[in-house]
Chain A
């Protein structure tokens, strides 16, 4: 064994292999705790050597580094840059006095660490993507073998990925510096191999090349975009890549041919298909005429309603629901998110509150008719949510066409306006709901309209005591409605 001091008064560290992170970690720990400066260490890979000649850890000494450093270092260690051992030691050295160093993204050393990690991760990603197995043998002898040339030392860190993915298969990945082999039960990392050790053909490649050729759209040629993600250095081991030059060369002509082949006369079977499946083209809706004589007919007619622009963004018309001989009609504002999806009124959170209170008041929900002043959901999309927005007077006015017909067909004794929009719809003018709550207003046509709040108002109260109180008030209103119905 040679004395370590020979190298200009510094230390020589001999790592067992390019991927000997444990060896690096041990040496780095011992050297740092002995205050050996980065410039006094030489790092080399010498298989089979140990580190007996490095100074021992001083008794009781402990090396404290940020927790995430080891993870970063392990990744960067797979990089093929021979100066990585010294660089990582320098980082370790700096971290002792600058523990926040890794959080300072603009520091050149932090940048370099990140760049190295990124290169390793990218190479790993490309390995996941560009390994191409070739099958050899059949039955019990069936095995899949791949040849891959990574830029960095990444076989060990990626072998588990292939085990998780190809558990039910026996496979081997050969690379110039290491190989990974899975026999269905055990993973073994072995020495490197040569390209000639891998099979050169696989019957499925003809199908794969056919797919590659045909999924390409020549009218969208973007060669740079392709090469950015699939650099040429990988092409020599990808069975489909040899097709690329001719596909590119022929793209312009292929695209022109596509355009030139158009238009022609319809295919022979087209008329038959049309006749069998599309006997008559339905005329566009516009069925909201006055002919509906029952609620189901009216509901059907309302499906194609275009009386205001709200239909454009909503899923569907949410029409009223309940028996046609109901004595009372409850009118809400407009459907919400859940109602819009389900196509039924009062099924969302406010509807649940409404149902529960009706139940408490002894009003049979099966015997009442519920509907909304506006039949399409009006909202503002915000990310993945829809924020309810209040219908304006024009929209309320447009939808009165439907409300009036619902009332005309059902002929109830009483209407309950739930909130200001409903009151506006039923009375034709804005009224102060909180002030007039609990009152009955008689319309010119004789219909009695009971004024109260919308149940969603209760949902919006956060203070539990206030919420309970408001619920009680609404329950009181509903009991009054029950009396008015009698």
Chain B
């Protein structure tokens, strides 16, 4: 067999990475190359350098070190029983690709994941070596995200945290039962423990050390995870419950939802259909409500009949329609928490309303100038010269709002 070229390997190993939803290159420490004279910077927020026709941003060189894998997770293209073409990068090749791409401003950095070859430690060791080479030999200050292998040793994880901006461990599926069924060799207990250890390590290292008061660098971008949605029967309520548990227990920066995508040569135990992209979108919206809008996880779907998010309308509007007793909210008097619950008002608009109303009372058209559309808003607010009257409790309210919204929210 002739050896594969770098171009061929890149084709195989980026194809193998395309089912992974996570992409963010934000949330790390601010850094640049002025002092080191090297290459690379991070400024807190990531930059999306390109977009694929699937609408997802390309901010990182997202590749696998290898797609050989000893695991046989039925939702994964790289599982050992799959007939996909296999390839394996050398450490040198990944370092060179990253630097060549970065110098041309194609990417913000590297997102390195891998199939597990021979042993978790051997694979993890090579991933850490890529990061070490980039940081020390190439003086690279760009973003590095490593996908940690749960079974790898604590020393390797510690080294990984030294060089990487963010570490992640995939929770795989929303329930332990799901993992046991679809990823029989993976242990949910080990995945939890790895996340717990990572949180402890991140907290320990963020304490100033006694001697220098300087903090040691350890995964400044925190940890994240990904779970696959739609490969098992878990309801949205169950998925959000798992997310809330993960955010609370392991202080994750992000939980990524990856709609289960049909994969070539897929296992027969999985649904053969296009991924439920709208469901994934609604889950992200609901996740947002928990993290930035003060919603608790149970209340998002409280009162819904099947524990599923409404695909036709966003979760905040759905919640408002189920909780009309809390409306209308007075734009000129309500506190921040109440304003954040109004459908159509985002965190930025709420901040502007709070600032503006210190100086003048706001009318409906004033609010209208601050947001995209007033249709969704009108039944839920009181403003100077505006009261929704019976509109808030009207039986046909959903129909009135949903129609104009639908054109906006469907892709």
Interface set of A (CB-CB < 8 Å, partner B): 100, 103-106, 108, 111, 125, 128-135, 144, 146, 161, 163-169, 202, 204, 206-208, 210-226, 229-230, 238, 240, 244, 247-248, 251, 255, 257-259, 261-264, 266-267, 269-270, 273-274, 276-278, 281, 284, 303, 312-313, 315-316, 340-343, 379, 381-386
Contacts and interface: CB of A to CB of B under 8 A. Distances in A.
A247 B53 contact: yes
Given A207-B6, A225-B411, A316-B193, A257 B264 contact: yes
Nearest to B363: A106
Contacts of B367: 106
Interface of B: 6-7, 10-12, 14-15, 17-19, 32-34, 36-41, 43, 47-58, 61-63, 70, 72, 80-83, 97, 100-101, 103-106, 139, 176, 180, 184-185, 189, 192-193, 195-197, 199-200, 244-245, 247-249, 251, 259, 261-268, 272-275, 277, 290-291, 296-297, 352-353, 355-356, 358-360, 362, 366-367, 369-370, 411
Given A144-B104, A210-B11, A267-B81, 12 more contacts: A129-B50, A133-B103, A167-B33, A207-B101, A215-B14, A224-B55, A230-B51, A270-B80, A273-B80, A274-B80, A379-B248, A385-B248
A168 B49 CA distance: 21
Contacts of A278: 70, 185
B103 A262 contact: no
B15 to A, nearest CB: 4
B53 A103 contact: no
Given A216-B18, A270-B72, A312 B176 contact: yes
25 contacts: A103-B356, A104-B356, A132-B105, A133-B103, A168-B38, A207-B10, A216-B53, A217-B52, A217-B261, A222-B55, A224-B411, A240-B50, A247-B53, A262-B266, A266-B83, A270-B72, A277-B70, A278-B70, A278-B185, A281-B184, A315-B193, A316-B192, A316-B196, A342-B196, A384-B247
Contacts of B103: 133, 135, 144, 166, 169
A215 B18 contact: yes
B83 A267 contact: yes
A154 B184 CA distance: 54
Given A221-B54, A251-B53, A340-B249, A266 B81 contact: yes
A132 B81 CA distance: 40
B82 A222 contact: no
B104 A133 contact: yes
Nearest to B100: A204
Nearest to A316: B193
Contact of A105 (B195, B272, B355): B355
A340 B196 contact: yes
A316 B189 contact: yes
A164 B356 contact: no
Contacts of A240: 50
Contacts of A284: 180
